[in-house]
Structure 1
């Protein structure tokens, strides 16, 4: 990483640990609260433990990092030689993380540019990675922000969930839509649109929904050079099969990441999640 521009994101980017270490990216953890007990995502609660809590219908909520956590992260970056920081975060429509980072940025010892990417998961991760690569090449803070924003704007995120109930509980999608989906016994396909989770299509069965997800990703990618991420929660076989099929049908495929989401996204989607991120280079 450039010694002049530090890159900060949050734990919902789900970048591989080795990738973050290689590019000097710091991820500030969000919090998952299970039965009133708070855990930091990525270090203090496993995905398996989260799934078990959801299946047992234990109360699960999430919360943003405290501004002081961001403030300490920014201080450490400055102490390590950074003269500017780009702080890239999940959609402000879904979390108060962006606002917490903004509050901390006002007191930071070096300039901090806080960016609402409007994205989540590797849709955010690809943006953070693009910023880090720009910083490594000696880019300025403005150049790193511009590259990150351009990457985020070009990226699309689609996902399938077995039920809308978890999104309804967390207030991330309207209760009426959840009830409608349950009444019709449909399997919803969703997308990130303007930073919000929006319905895309409704399909009758899980197998047809997953096949349709593949088609949507292939159509979105076309023949362009793209990076792809396939995410899941407690559905590794689904994710592996989708990734294998995408490898064979995307001529411009660059990097392909397959990973299980962490506890924050998992708390709102529930087991069975299958998501795909298409990020043109």
Structure 2
């Protein structure tokens, strides 16, 4: 058999890759009014302007069920669970509790992706490809850890109201209140969402995204991701600019932010994810740390 990789629905990977690599996906929860739904499983409409829309992590019980099924499917080879940043969600902590409840902390290894969206998805992809090559549990884990450490994320939001409500921005002081004259460029740093720069126009914000991605990519092989919420034309234009400016990009994934992230970023948000070295996996990271 082979090691099985488990992630959450924030990873935003295309369904064909998820199926081909045997990745198990646990849905995040979105509460719309009085109704709680599972991202990627239940059909529902969402008004991102409503302050009645909230999100929550899967329960330890849900993750325990997913890990147990994945462990059985692995034939005992083990499971690597890769989840969005513990600074942004309780999912990783719920996963740790689930592994403890199972008594499976040596066979279910958890990785904090230090990101969200495709910033989780790219480490998942690196780990799953490592598993597909028949590598052992520690190598798959190390591939995910290395990718999580190396990935860089830059995001432009169109409006700041969702950030204000969600409280996910760690450098909020002095940030809000200037929406009419600036567009914020955000970045993920050690799993925390921080303000990188404020610029006056959306065009300048996108130029800043491209420049930041080019700097983070370096000169070698690199994988890129472009993610958006309701802004497909902007994402397509950005992808074209990245292909031109970063010719070493061997892979560019595109996806839309799901509702669980969209609630916090708002319509019009566009992000760029950069993984130097690509998604082929890397065994140079340190061993498990729990």
Same fold (TM over 0.5): yes
Q: Name the SS for the 2:101 alignment partner.
A: coil
- Which residue of the partner structure matches residue 69 of structure 1? 62
Which range moves more in the overlay, 235-244 or 215-224?
A: 215-224
Q: Name the SS for the 1:54 alignment partner.
A: coil
Select 1:143's aligned residue among 130, 133, 139: 139
Q: Deviations over 1:198-230 (max 9, x none)?
A: 000100111111122112112222322111110
Select 1:166's aligned residue among 153, 162, 165: 162
Select 1:27's aligned residue among 25, 30, 48: 25
In the alignment, the residues of structure 2 paired with residue 82 and residue 122 of structure 1 have an alpha-carbon distance, to the nearest angstrom, of 28
Whether 1:265 aligns to 2:258 is no
In the alignment, the residues of structure 2 paired with residue 115 and residue 222 of structure 1 have an alpha-carbon distance, to the nearest angstrom, of 25
Whether 1:103 aligns to 2:97 is yes
Give yes or no for contact 1:12–1:121 (8 Å, CA) kept in 2: yes
Q: CA RMSD in A?
A: 1.6
In the alignment, the residues of structure 1 paired with residue 178 and residue 60 of structure 2 have an alpha-carbon distance, to the nearest angstrom, of 37
- Which residue of the partner structure matches residue 4 of structure 1? 2
- Which residue of the partner structure matches residue 89 of structure 1? 83
- Which residue of the partner structure matches residue 123 of structure 1? 119
Residues 267/41 of structure 1: CA separation in 2 closer, same or farther (3 Å cut): same
Q: Name the SS for the 1:228 alignment partner.
A: strand
Give yes or no for contact 2:48–2:262 (8 Å, CA) kept in 1: no
Give yes or no for contact 2:4–2:73 (8 Å, CA) kept in 1: no
Deviation, structure 1 residue 78: 2.7
Task: For structure 2, list consecutive stretches of 5 or more residues without a partner in the other structure.
Answer: 278-290
Higher normalized helix content (fraction of residues): 1
Runs of 4+ in 1 over 4 A off after TM superposition: none
Whether 1:205 aligns to 2:201 is yes
Q: How many residue pairs end up in the alignment? A: 273
Q: Name the SS for the 2:88 alignment partner.
A: coil
In the alignment, the residues of structure 1 paired with residue 174 and residue 234 of structure 2 have an alpha-carbon distance, to the nearest angstrom, of 25
Whether 1:155 aligns to 2:151 is yes
Q: Deviations over 1:147-183 (max 9, x none)?
A: 111111111000000122201101112654442433x
